Structure 1
Amino acid sequence: MRLHTLTVRAFGPFAGQEQVDFDRLTSGGLFLVHGPTGAGKTSVLDAVCFALYGRVPGARQNDRSPKSDHAPLDREPEVTLEFTCGGRRLHIARKPRWERPKKRGRGTKVENAKVVVAERVEGSWVGVTTRPDEAGQFIGDLVGLTLDQFCQVAMLPQGDFARFLRARSEERRESLERIFNTRVFRDVEEWFRGHASKLRREVESAEEAVRGAAGRLAEAARSEAPQDPAELSAWAAEAASVTAATARDAETVTAGVVAEREEARAELERGRAVRDRHERLSAARLRDAELKERAQERSGIDVRLAAAERADTVLPSLHARDQRRTKRDKAEAELAERLALVEGLPGVDRTALGVPVAGEWPDAGAPRPQKALRSAEQERRDEHARLELLRGDAERLRDLGRTVAGHDAELQRLARDLEATREQVSVLPPRVESLTRELTEAREQAARAEGAETALATARARLSAAQDQERLSGELAGAEERRRTAVDAAQEARDHALALRERRIGHMAAELAADLAEGEPCAVCGSAEHPSPAVAGPEGVVSAEEEKAAHSAADAAAVRRSEAENAETVLRERRTAAAERAEGRGVADARAEVGTRSEALSEARAAADTVQRLEEALERAGTDLERAREREGTLALRVSEVTSAREAAVAERERLTGVLDAARGDDPTIDARARRLVSEADRLGAAAEAATSRDRAVEELREAEAEVRRRLAGVDLRGGDGEPSEAGLSSTTEEQVWAAALSDPERRDLRERARAHDDEVAAVRAVLEDPELTGAGPVPDLEALGEAASRAGRAADEAVAWRGGLRDRARRLAELRVELDSCLAGSEPVLHRYALAENMRALTSGTAADNEDHVRLSAYVLAARLEQVVAAANDRLATMSDGRYELRYTVDKAAGDGRARSAGGLGMRVLDAWTGVERDPATLSGGETFFSSLALALGLGDVAGAEAGGADIDTLFVDEGFGTLDEDTLEEVLEVLDGLRDGGRAVGVVSHVADLRDRVTSQLRVHKGSSGSRVEHLG
C-alpha cells in the first residue's frame, strides 16, 4: 500500500486545512517528519489511521472527538486520504462524530460520523460505500490488517517496542496476541479447561447417582451396601432374589384367607336380604290402606279438569273483547290529544270537524273529521313544497354574507401586509449598500492574509536569526579568547622546543663525550684515546627524549591552536550568516516585528471569517429585497381583485334578500316558515289518522262483545258426572267461566297428582302380589353373621397387607437393581472421557508430565512467531550494532520474570559478541535499546505482514528515538532504513533530532502556534 495525499481539516492540532503530499515526500525514498515537541508530528500518522480505520491507535483513542480545539466551533472536522493498495487507487473522506452549534437558538447538535469511499476507475471516481461499517469491512479486506497490525507493520512506534524488548513474558504474550491474533489457541486452552471441568462434574454426578441408587436399594433391602463399587451388582442381585421368593410364598397363604372372608360376607348378605323382604311387605300393606282412604280426592281431580276444559271454549272470546275495549279507550284518548294539538291552527275549526263540543261521538251515520284534517294538511304541504324551491336561494344568501365578510377580512389583512412590505422595500436597499461596503473592505483586508502570513514567517525567521546572532556573538567572544590563549601557548611550546634543539646541538660534543669509555673507540674519530673530552655548560645536556617531548608538546599546542582558529572561523561565519538573515535587526526589534506581523495576520484571518459572514448576510438581504418587491406587486393586484369580487357579492345579496322576504311572510326566516308548515302538517295528519283508528276500534269492540254472548249461550258448566251439557239454555255467566278456568301450571299439578296416585296404587299392588316376598322364610341371626364376617375381613386384610408389602419390596428391589446397574454402566464411559479430557487440559496448559518445558499451547504458538521475529530482527541488528549484539529467545525461567512455567517460551536475551555473555535487555544503554528495539520492530513488522497474507506496505514510518544514538550508530541505522527502500518502499522518519535535517533532504516540517499547527514541505 502506497500513500499519495493526506488532507486534514480541524483535526487534532491542525485548526485549518493542511495537505501532506506523500508522492513528493517519498520520491527520494527516505523522508523526515520533524518539528518541535507537541507540534503534531504523530498526529499526521493518527490522521492516516483515522482515515483508514475510523480510530486513532493506542492510548490516544478515547471517547472525545478528535476535532481540533484550535478550530472554530462550527468548522467541520474531516480527514481525506488518497492511496493505492493492490493495484486499486482509492479515496477516503471520513468525518468523526462531533458537536456543532445549533443554527437556531442556543446549545449544540451532535453530528454523527460519516465516511465516503471512492475508487478511481477509468479516469473517474466511482463511489464504493458511504456506510461506516461497510467501509471498515472493505478497508480491512483490502489492506488485510487490523488497526493494531497496521500500526506495528507500517508505523513503528519505538516506545512500544522498547517496552516489548524489556517486557515480562506475560506482557510480551499480550502484545503478540494483539498482533498475530492467536487468541484461538487461548480459546482452545480455555475450551479444554472448561470441557474437563464439565466432565469432572459429570463424573461426580455419575458417582453420586451410583451412591444414591445403592443407598435406596440398601434401604429397601434393609441391609448395608458394600463400600466397594465392584461388589454392588452381586449384592443387589442377591437381595432382589431373596425378597422375590418370600413374596411368592405369601401369595398362597393370602389366597386362602381371602376366600374365607368372601364366604362370610356372602352369608351375611343372604341374611340381610331375607330381613329386607319382610320389611318391604309390611310397608306395602300400610300404604295400601292409606291409598284407599284418598280415593274420593282422586275422583275430584277429574271433575275439576273437565270443568276447566269446557271453560276454555269461552275464555279466548273474553280475552279478545277486553283487548278490543282497551284498544278503543286508547284510540279515543289519542284522538282527543291529537285534536287538542291542532285546535286553533289557521283554517281549522273544531265545530267544522263534526265533533260535538261535549266530547260525545255521533253514531255511524254522523260526519267524520278526517276529511277536514286531510284538507288542511295538504294545503300546508303544498306551501312547503313551494318554499323548498327557494331553499337554494336562502343558502346562497348566507354564503354571500360569509363571502362579503371574508372579503372584508382579507382586505384588512392585505392592507396590513402591503404596508409592512412597502416599509421593508424602503428599508432593505440601504442595508444592501451598507453590507456591500463592509464586504468590500473585509475582502481587501482578507486578501492581505497570505502576505501577512509570509511576512510573519519572515519576521519569525529574522527573530530566530537575531537570537542566533546574539548567542553566537557571545560564543565568538569566548572562541576568540580561547584562540588567543591557544596561539600564545603554541608559540611558547614552539619556542621551547627550538631552544632545546639549539642547546642539544650546541652540547652535542659533550653528549658524545658522555658516552666515551676507556679503550673504546670514539664514535666520531675512531680513536681509543680520549685526552680532552668536551664538557657541558652549567645548564646541562639536553637528551633526545626531552627534545622529542618538547616537539610533541609543540605539535599538540599547534593542533589546539588550529582547532581554536577553526572554531572561531566557524562561529564568525555563522554569526555573519545570522546577521545577514536578521537583516540588521536586533532581538528586541525582531520580536516587536513578530508581534506586529502576528496581529496583522490575526486581523486578516478574522477578516476572512467576516467575509463569509458578510457574503451570507448580503445574499440574504438581496434575496429579501427581491422577494419584498415581488410581494408588493402581488399584494396590490390581490387588493384590486378582492374589491371587485366584494362589490359583485353585495349586489347579488340585496337581490336575493327581497325575494326571500316576500316568501317568508310573518315568519322570521324561510327555514322557520318551512319548519312551521311541516310541523302543522304532521300534526294534522296524525289527528286524521287517530280519528280513523278510533272508528276502527269501536267497530272491533262491537264484534267482540257479540262473540262473547254467543259463546256463553253455547256452554253449560253444570254437570254432575263431569260431562258438559249443551241444551242451548244460556245459564252460564262470565264469573262462572273465570272461576272454572285453570292455568297451565294448575292443570299440570292436578294431572301429576292423579298420575302419582295411580302409579303408587299399582306399585303397592305389585308388592303385595310378589311371590318372592310372600314366600320368604324366617329372618336369621344377623348379629352373629356380622361378627363372623368382621373376623374374616380383619384376617384377610392383614394377609393382603403382608403380601402387598413383600410384593412391593420385591418390585422395588428389582427396579433399584436395574437402576444401579444402569448407573454403574453409565459411569464407565464418563470416567474414560474425563481421563482423556484431563490429560489434554494438562498438556495444553503446561502442567502435564509429557510437557517437559511446561509451556502452554498459546505460548508455544507465540514462541514460534517470536522465533521468526527474532530471526528477522537479527538480520538488521547485526548491521546496526556492527555485529556486536544478537537477540535470542528462551523458555527457561532465567530468561523472563520467573514465571516461565505458566507463560514459557516468550523469554528474550541479548548476546554480547564482545564478551560472549547473554545479557538482560534492561542492561542495554539508551542508544543500544533504541536500535535493538528498532530491529525488533522491523522484524515484527515483516512477520506480522507475512502473517496477514503478505500485506504490501510501500510507505513505512519510524517514530522517534534517534536522539539516543551517536553519529556512527545513527549512520548505520539510517543505512538500514535506507535499505528498506528496496522494492520501491519509502520510509518516513518522525523525529526532532537536528542532525537528521542535514542527512535527510526530503522533509515535512510541522509548525506549532497558538492558533494551531500547520505543515510545510521542504526539499
Structure 2
Amino acid sequence: MRPLKLLMSAFGPFASIQETDFAALGTNPLFLINGPTGAGKTTLLDAICFALYGKTTGDEREGSQMRCDLAVDSLLTEVTFSFALGDIQYRIRRVPEQQRAKKSGAGYTVQKPEAQLYRIDSDGSEHLLVASKVSEATAEIEQLTGLDADQFRQVMVLPQGKFRELLMADSKDREKIFSQLFQTQIYRKIEDKLKFQASAIRTAVRDHRNRRDGILDNIALESDEALNAELDELSPKLTQAVESKDKASLVFIDANKQFESAKLLTHDFDALDKLQQSAAVLAEQKKAIVQDRTRLENGQKAQQLKPVLDVSLARETEVVQAQDSLTRIQSAKDSSEQALALSRSKFDSLAELDLKLQRERNEEQKLIQLEPQLQGLDDLQKSFSQATSERDKAKEKGIKEKRVLDALAAEKYAAEQDIFLLEEVASKQLDAQQAVTAQDDLIERYQQWQKASIEASHTEQALKQAKDKGQQLKSRCSEAQTSHRQLQLIWHRGQAASLALQLSPGLPCLVCGSVEHPNPAQSEQQLPTEEELQQAQRFEELANEALNQARADYSGLNTQYQVQLQQLDELQQRIGDSSTQPLAHLQSQLQALQQQLTKANTAAQQLIQLRQQIQNWQSKERELQTRLDAEREHFQKLQNHLSSLKGQVAQASAAIPEQYHSLEVLDSAISQARSHVKTLQQTINSIRQSHTQALEQDAAQSAALAAAVSNFAQARELSNEAHGELKSQLSSSGFSDKQALTHALLSSEALKAIADGIARYQQDCIANQTTLAQITDKLDGQVKPQLIDVEARVATSQTQLQAAEHSWQLIQSRVTQLTQTQKQLKDADYQAKKLEDEYAIIGTLSDVANGQTGNKISLQRFVLSVLLDDVLLEASHRLQMMSKGRYRLIRKEDRAKGNKASGLDLEVEDAYTSKVRPVATLSGGESFMAALSMALGLSEVVQAYAGGIKLDTLFIDEGFGSLDQDSLDLAIRTLMDLQSSGRMIGVISHVSEMKEQIGTRIDIIKTARGSETVIVLP
C-alpha cells in the first residue's frame, strides 16, 4: 500500500482542514515527520489507521475522542485518505460519531458514524464501493489490503511504545500475521480438509460398528453363530407349516363351493314367493283399470269438441271487453265537455292580461337603463375605498419602519458596549492556549510516569517470583543430580555381584580368568535397572534445562527492570514536583485552564461576530432610512388622489334615485320585473294552448264514442252465433250441457298418462304369468336348503385355514428376517473394511498435516517456518549492520512444552557470548533495532514472493532516541539504502540528527489556533 493524500478536518490537534500530499514528497521517499511534543506527529498515523480501520495506531482512543476542541461547531470531524494498491487507486472517507451543530435552530445533534470507499480508475472515473456503513468499509479494506487493524499496526507501522510487539509475538500470533502476508491459507485449508475427512471416516467406522450391533439387537440375537443355529432349527418347522396350510386351504375351498350352490337355490325360492305376491296385487288393480278406460274414452271425445268450446268462450270475453270500453269512453266524453267549458271562460280574459304585460315590460326597461350609471358609481366607491386602504397601509408601514430604525440604533449602541468588554477577555486567548498546552503536556508525562511506575512494580514482582522459582528449580536440580549419582554408584558397586552370579565351578572368571571361585562377590542392595538409570539421567537433564530457562528468564526480566527504572527516573525529572500531587488535581487545573481558554475563544468569536453585526446594522440602517423617505412621498401622493375621487363619487350619486344606490337592490328590482313579465307571458301562452287542446280532445272523444257503440253491437252478434254452434255439437256428442263437457275435458298429458298406465298394467300381467310358470317348472321336486348349517361349515374351515396361515407366517417372517440380517451383516463388514483401509491413508495424512506427529508442527506452520527463515535472513543482515556484527535473529527449532504452538518463535544469537538467548533479553535500543530489522526484512521477503501483500510503505514512530550515536548512524544509513528498493519510509522522531540527515520533512506547526502541516523539500 502506498499513501497518496491525507485530508484531516477537526481531527486531533488540527482545528481546521489540513491536507498532506504524500505524492509531493517524491518517488520512494525517506521523510521525517517533525514537530514539538503534542503538535500531532503521531496523529498523522492515527488518521491513516482511522481512515482505513476506524481505529488509531495505538488503539488507545476511539474515533469519537479525536475531535479537536478548537474547531468551529460548523466543521465536521472527518478523515479522507487516498492510497494505491499496485496500479489501482482508492479513496476512503470516514466520519466518527460526534456532536455537531443542528442545521436549523439552536443546539446540537448526534452525527452517526459513516464511511465511503471509492475505486479510482486510470481515467479518473470513480466507482462507489461502500456507501455509508462503517463495518462494510472496514471489511472491504481488510479484503483489499489483506490485513486487519492489529496486523497493519505490526507490519506497516511501528507505533510509539509498541515496536516490540511483532518481535515478541509467539508462534500462534506470528502464524496469523504471516499467513495473511504470504497468503498461505491454502495450507490451513488442506489441514482442515484432511482433519475433517479423517474425523468423518472415524465417525463412519464407529457408526458401522454400532450399526452391526444394532442389526443383531433387532433380531434379539448376540452373534452370527446364534443366527445360523436358529435358521437350521426353523427349516423343518417351515416345511410342516406349509403342508398344514395347503391342506386347510383345500377343505375351505370345498365348503365354500357348497355354500354358493345353497345360496343360488334359496334365491330361486325367494323369487317364486315374490311372483306369487305380485300376481295377487295385479288382480286387485283390475277394477281401477276399467274405470281408467272409461275416463280415457270420454276425454278423447271432449278433446274433439274443445275448439268449438274455445270459440264460444272467446266471443263471450269480447262482449264483456266491448261493454267495458263503451262505458270508459262515455265517461271520458263527459270530462272533455266540462274541460272545454272551463277553457272558454279563461280564453275570454286574454285582452286584459295583454295590457298588463305591456306595462311590466315598460317598467323593466326603465330599471335596465339605471344599471350602467349605478355600475360607474360603484366603481368610483371601490376606487375610493381602495385608495383609503392604501393610504392607511402606507402610513402604518412608515410608522413600523421608523420603529425598526429606532430599535436598530439601540441594538448597535448595546453591541458597541459589549465589544469594549469582550476585547478585554479575548486579549487573554494566547496566554490561555499556552497554559492549556503546557498543562496537557504535564498530564501526559504524569500519566506516562504513572504507567511506568506500575509496569516497573509488576516487573519487580515478576523478578521476585522468577528468583523464587529459580531457587526452587536449583534445589530440584541438585536433588535430581544427587539421585542420579547415587543410582550410578549403586550400579557400579553392584557390577561385581552381577558378574559373580554368572560364575560356574570349573569355568574361568570373565575378569581374572581363575577357575576357582572361593569367595564370589555379593550385593546387599537391589541393583537399579538400565531403564531406572536412563530415567534418572532424563530427570537430571530436564531439571538442568528448566533451571537454565529460569536463569534466562530472570536475566531478561532484570534487564527489563533496569531499563524501566531508568525510564522512570527520566520521567520523574520531567514532571518535577508534580509527582507529589494526585492526577485529579492536575486534571482539575487543566479543566480550569480549559474553561478560561473556552471563555477567551468564545469571546474572540463573539467579538468577530459583533463587529460584523455592527457593519450589517449600519448598512441596514441606511437602507431603512431610504425606504422611510420613499414611503412618506408615496403617502402624500395617495392623499391627493383620495380627495379627487371623493368629488367624483358625490356627482355620480346625485344622478341615481336614492332607493337604487345599491347595485344589489337594482339587480333585484330588474330580476323581479323580468320575473313578472315572464310569468304573465307564460300565463297567456298556457291559456291559449289549453283552449286549443280542449277543443281537440272533445272532438276526439266524440269519434271514439261512436266507434265503441258499433264495436259492442258487433261483439254481441258474434257471441250469439258461437253459443248456438256449441249447443248443437254437445247434443250430437252425448254431453248433456257445457258443464259436462268441461268436466270430461282432460289435457293431452293427462290422456297420455292414463293410456300409458293401462298399457303397463297389461305388460305386467303378461310378464308375471310367464316368469311364474318358468320358476314353478324349475323348482319342481326341489326343497329349500338351510343356509345356517352350510355357513357354519364354511366358518369352521376358514378358522382352521387362518390358524394354519398364521403359524406359517410367523415361521416364514422369522426366516426372512434372519436371512435379510445375514445379508446386512455381510454388507456392514464389507463397508467397515473399506473405511478402515481409507482411514489408514487419510488419518495418517491428517495427523502429519495437523502436527500430531514428530515435532508437532502443522503443514502451514512448516511452510511459514521456511518463509520466516527467509525473513530472518534479511532481517539479520540489517541487524548485524546496526549492531556491528553482534546480533543475528534465528528461529527457535526446539519444540515448546505441553500443547503450546511452536515452530515460529524467535531467538537472538549473540556473537560476543556465542550463546543463543530469547529476544526478550534485548535492551530497549537493541529491541528497537531488532524490530526495525524484522519489519524491513519482512517487507523485502513479502515483496519478493509473487501474489503476496505489497508492503511498500513503513512508518516508524519514535524509538531512535534509545540508540547511541553509532547505532543511530547505522540505522539511518540502513533506511536510506532502502530507497533504492522502492519503499516509502516515514520516520517520527525528536532526535536532532534525524532532522539534519533527512531533508524531506512534514513539519507539524503548533499554534494557539491548532496545529498545521507543512511539507519541506530539500
Whether the TM-score (by the shorter chain) exceeds 0.5 is yes
Task: Give 1:23-42 correspondences, 5 Å limit.
Answer: 30-35=30-35, 39-42=39-42
State the one-letter code of the partner of 1:911.
E
Residue 793 of structure 2 aligns with an amino acid whose one-letter code is R
- For residues 136-285 of structure 1, the aligned pairs below 5 Å read 151-157=153-159, 159-203=161-205, 218=219, 225=221, 227-228=223-224, 249=243, 252-254=246-248, 256-285=250-279
Alignment of 1:566-577 (within 5 A): none
Aligned to 2:513: none
CA contact (8 A) 1:281 1:774 kept: no
In the alignment, is the contact (CA less than 8 A) between 2:80 and 2:93 conserved in 1?
yes
Give the corresponding residue for 1:289: 283
Match of 1:942 among 940, 956, 974: 940
Q: Which residue of 2 is the match for residue 525 of structure 1?
A: none
Aligned counterpart, 2:860: 858
The residue number in structure 2 matching 1:989 is 987
Q: Is the 8 A contact 2:35 2:1005 kept in 1?
A: yes
Shift in Å at residue 44 of structure 1?
0.4
1:974 to 972, 975, 986: 972
d(CA) in 1 for partners of 2:425, 2:92: 30
Q: Quick one: structure 1 residues 84 and 186, their matched pair in 2 at CA, closer, same or farther if it must change by over 3 Å?
A: closer
The answer as to whether partners of 1:244 and 1:807 remain within 8 angstroms in 2 is: no
Q: Answer yes or no: is the 8 Å Cα contact 2:191–2:849 preserved in 1.
A: no
Deviation at 1:295, TM superposition (A): 3.6
Taking the aligned partners of 2:438 and 2:58, their CA distance within structure 1 comes to 40
Which among 673, 676, 686 is matched to residue 665 of structure 1?
676
The aligned runs of 1:637-716 (5 Å cut-off) are 661=672, 663-665=674-676
Partner-residue secondary structure (3-state), 2:172: helix
Structure 1 residues 314-323 or 782-791, which shifts more?
Answer: 314-323
Q: Distance in 1 between matches of 2:266 and 2:631?
A: 121
- Distance of 1:923 and 1:331 partners within structure 2: 144
Q: Tell me, which stretches of 5 or more residues in structure 1 are unaligned?
A: 219-223, 340-349, 358-365, 373-392, 465-592
Report the CA distance shift for 1:446/1:156 in structure 2 as closer, same or farther (over 3 A): farther
SS at match of 2:124: strand
Distance 1:413 1:779 in 2: 137
1:14 equivalent in structure 2: 14
Aligned equivalents of 2:628 and 2:764: distance in 1? 117
Distance 2:809 2:401 in 1: 115
The answer to which of 279-288 and 79-88 deviates more is 79-88
- Contact preservation (8 Å) 2:1001, 2:1015: yes
* C-alpha separation in 2, matches of 1:131 and 1:625: 58
**CA distance 1:807–1:898, change in 2 (3 Å):** closer
Superposed, 1:387-466 pairs within 5 Å as: none
Name whichever of 37-46 and 803-812 sits farther off. Answer: 803-812
**What residue identity is the alignment partner of 1:12?**
G
Report the CA distance shift for 1:257/1:356 in structure 2 as closer, same or farther (over 3 A): farther
Instruction: Quote the Cα distance in structure 2 between the aligned partners of 1:918 and 1:110.
Output: 55
Identify if the C-alpha distance between structure 1 residues 354 and 318 changes in structure 2 by more than 3 Å, giving closer, same or farther. same
Question: How big is each residue's C-alpha offset from its partner over 1:605-655, in whole Å with a ceiling of 9 and x where there is no partner?
Answer: 665677899999999999999999999999xx9xx9xx9xxx9xx999999
SS in 2 for 1:956: strand
Deviation at 1:272, TM superposition (A): 0.9
CA distance in structure 1 between the partners assigned to 2:395 and 2:152 by the alignment:
69
Which residue of structure 1 lines up, in the alignment, with residue 73 of structure 2? 73
Return the offset for 1:876. Answer: 2.0
Q: For the Cα contact (< 8 Å) 2:871–2:941, is it kept in 1?
A: yes
| Structure 1, 188-197 or 622-631: larger mean CA deviation | 622-631
2:882 is aligned to 880
1:354 CA displacement:
0.8
Asked whether 1:899 is paired with 2:899, we answer yes
Question: Does the Cα contact within 8 Å between 1:117 and 1:135 map onto a contact in 2?
Answer: no
Once residues 215 and 195 of structure 2 are traced to their aligned partners in structure 1, the CA distance between those partners, rounded to angstroms, is 30
Q: Check the 8 A contact 1:8/1:78 in 2, yes or no.
A: yes
Letter in 1 for 2:676: G
CA 1:97/1:783 → structure 2, altered by over 3 Å: closer, same or farther? same
CA contact (8 A) 2:57 2:159 kept: no
Q: Relative to structure 1, is the Cα distance of residues 451 and 1010 closer, same or farther in structure 2, using a 3 angstrom cutoff?
A: closer
Q: Are 1:307 and 1:717, in contact at CA under 8 Å, matched by a contact in 2?
A: no
Aligned to 1:378: none
User: 1:425–1:668: structure 2 CA closer, same or farther, 3 Å change rule?
Assistant: farther
Deviation at 1:831, TM superposition (A): 6.0
- What amino acid maps onto 2:912 in structure 1? W
Query: What does residue 560 of structure 2 align with?
Result: none
Report the equivalent of 1:548: none
Could you say which residue in structure 1 is the equivalent of 2:925?
927
Distance 1:786 1:601, change over 3 A: closer
Tell me, yes or no, if the aligned pair for 1:877 and 1:932 is still in contact at 8 Å: yes
Pairing 1:770-781 to 2, within 5 Å after superposition: 770=771, 771-777=773-779
* 2:45 partner letter: L
Describe the SS at the equivalent of 1:893: coil
Per-residue CA distance 1:504-528 (angstroms, 9 max, x = gap): xxxxxxxxxxxxxxxxxxxxxxxxx
In structure 2, stretches of 5+ residues that fail to align are 347-367, 441-592, 646-651, 653-660
Kept in 1: contact 2:154–2:166 (CA 8 A)? no
User: Could you say if the C-alpha distance between residues 328 and 137 of structure 1 is closer, same or farther in structure 2, counting changes exceeding 3 Å?
Assistant: farther
Match in the other structure for 2:738: 732
Give TM-score scaled by structure 1 length. Answer: 0.59
Letter in 2 for 1:732: K
Matched-pair contact (CA < 8 Å) for 2:31–2:987: yes
Contact 1:34 1:1006 in 2 (8 A): yes
- Matches of 1:323 and 1:456 in 2, distance apart? 130
Determine if contact 2:205/2:835 at 8 Å carries over to the other structure.
no
Give the superposition deviation at 1:75.
0.9
Letter in 2 for 1:910: V
Residues 316 and 126 of structure 1, relative CA distance in 2, 3 Å threshold? farther
> Residues 34 and 1002 of structure 2 are in contact (CA less than 8 Å); yes or no, is this contact kept in structure 1?
yes
Preserved CA contact (<8 Å) 1:311 1:740: no
Structure 1 residues 889 and 724, CA gap change in structure 2 (3 angstroms): farther
Deviation per residue, 1:168-201 (Å, 9 max, x gap):
4333333444544544444444444444444555
Change (3 A) 1:437 1:989: farther
Q: How many residues align?
A: 799
2:954 is matched with 956
Q: In structure 1, the residue corresponding to 2:59 is in which secondary structure?
A: helix
CA pair 293-249 structure 1, distance change in 2 beyond 3 A: same
Q: Which amino acid aligns with 1:256?
A: L
Partner in structure 2 of residue 377 of structure 1: none
1:769 is matched with 770
Counterparts of 1:68 and 1:318 in 2: how far apart (Å)? 120
Deviation string, structure 1 residues 327-373 (Cα, Å, up to 9, x no partner): 9999999x99xx9xxxxxxxxxx99951669xxxxxxxx9999xx9x
Question: Which of 278-287 and 700-709 deviates more?
Answer: 700-709
Question: What SS is found at the alignment partner of 2:738?
Answer: coil
Judge which range, 305-314 or 35-44, deviates more: 305-314
Change in Cα spacing, 1:90 to 1:59, as seen in structure 2 (3 Å) is closer
Q: CA deviation at 1:109?
A: 6.8
Change (3 A) 1:290 1:608: same
- Post-superposition CA distance 1:651-672 (Å, at most 9, x none): 99999878765553388999xx
> Amino acid of the residue matched to residue 128 of structure 1?
E
TM-score, scaled relative to structure 2:
0.59
Give a deviation string over 1:888-946, Cα, whole Å, max 9, x none: 2235334xx6424xx34233323333333332333333333332223223333333444
CA distance in 1, matches of 2:709, 2:57: 112
Q: Secondary structure in 2 aligned to 1:79? A: strand
Return the offset for 1:250: 5.8
Displacement of 1:76: 2.6
Matching residue's letter, 2:273: E
- Give the Cα separation in 2 of the matches to 1:128 and 1:764: 108
Report SS of the residue matched to 1:852. Answer: coil
Percent sequence identity is 23
Partner in structure 2 of residue 479 of structure 1: none
